[in-house]
Structure formats: structure tokens, C-alpha cells
Amino acid sequence: MAHPVRTEAADLPDEAPHILVVDDDRRLRELLARYLAEQGFRVTAAASAEEARARAQALVFDAMVLDVMMPGENGFDYARSVRETSKVPILMLTARSNPNDRVMGLEIGADDYLPKPFDPRELTLRLNNIINRGPVRPRDADAAPVAFGPFVFRPDRGELRRDGETLRITEREREILSILAQAAGAAVEREHLAGVGGAAAERAIDVQMNRLRRKIEVDPANPSFLQTVRGVGYRLVIH
């Protein structure tokens, strides 16, 4: 089994989107990883659906670039399995020219589709579009804005503002804030925040919380809002 390539430059900001690239073509996989890293993305690359699944158990991604034609479990099958538990944006790559493939990918739940060969600049644009668009959320009239300190979080929009200015947060951070906001200050178990993935997903939650604290807290080591509840999980302190 090939080892997944990870490109996480030290000078990238914490909010840099993390992309999972899945392609059995080693040359293309490594080229994509380097190019996307140069464009400001954090990148993890895997050579198969099996490797991708293992990576997704331990890491949280903001989007996935997925090749259709792979030996063993192909891109369609893997995308179908991803959609059973996740709304992570998926951009599918294919060398095929058959329009039915595009329809199939979109029916499975892919967010966009790019035929090979492609201009890397177009890939970047499409990735940014699906990340910024995010999954479609039903508007909930009962999901009132939640205010804490200088911040206001809108669960219905997945929008975090500080003193009226919108802050950039990842899709996973929106999900975490939504769950904590719904708890209205009560403790939320780490297992609930982590969802599927077991202990590895719980460790990923700790990483995500640390990154979110750096965006919100004056002193992330002594948080005022995103507090740890020992032996339970986390809570959002509203005051």
C-alpha cells in the first residue's frame, strides 16, 4: 500500500482548507498535491478508496478531489459510501467523455465534475466554489442567532461574525458551532461532536477545537467561550 502524501506547509493559516486528493495515478496525485499546496490548501493524498477511508477516519477535510477510474473500489462507489455519513464537498475527476458519467456522479451526490485533462487553475476555482458554497442547509426559523462576547453565530446560515465582520470558518467548524449553539451552554459529549470514526475522530475534534479557539479566543490556552468540560466534552459559554 502506498503511503498517503501530506502537504501541510507550516506557514499556512489555520483556516486553510484541507483537501483530500484520491487518485491511483501517482504522478498526477503528487502534482495535484504540490499545486494545491502552492495555492494555499492543506493537502492529504491517497492512492485508493481504502487509503482515503483510513485518512478520513483520523482527519477532517473541507473538500475531496476524487478520481472516478480506480482499481478495486472506483470513485463512484467510494463517493456513494462517503455520502452515507458525510456532506463533505466532492469534486470528481474522470478521463471519460461520456455525459452519463457526469450525471451518475451528480446523482450520487458529487458537487462538481471535471474531465481530464484539465487546467489546474480551473480545478482551483471549482474547489473554492464548492467549499464556499458548502452543503445546502434547510432554513430553520427556530435557529435563532447565538451571541457570545463580540461574536454572533447564525446557525441557519452557518455564519460567524465578530463586531459585524464575517469570519472565515471551515465547514467542519460550522458543524461544531451549530451543535454547541443548540446545546445553549450545556456540555456536549466529544462522541457527539465527533460523529462516526471512533477514537480517531474524537482526537480530530480536539484538533478542530484548538483551531477554532485560535480564531475566537483572546487566550486560546484559557478559553472564555469554547470551554472543555473534563470527562465529558465541550461547551459554548454564552455571556
72 Cβ neighbours under 8 A, 6+ residues apart: 48, 49, 50
CA 104 to chain centre: 23
Q: 18 has which bridge partners?
A: 42
pLDDT of 195 reads 61
- Least confident interval from 3-7, 118-122, 155-159, 191-195: 3-7
pLDDT of 51 reads 94
pTM (2 decimals)?
A: 0.57
Q: Return the closest-CA partner of residue 174 out of 191, 161, 164, 187.
A: 161
pLDDT of 138 reads 39
pLDDT of 39 reads 92
Share the mean pLDDT of the chain.
82
Q: Are 64 and 90 in contact (CB under 8 A)?
A: yes
What average pLDDT score do residues 159-176 get? Answer: 84
C-alpha cell at 60: 477532517
Residue 169 pLDDT more than 60?
Answer: yes
Residue of 37 and 5 predicted with greater confidence? 37
CA–CA distance from 133 to each of 6, 45, 122, 148 (Å)?
25, 23, 16, 26
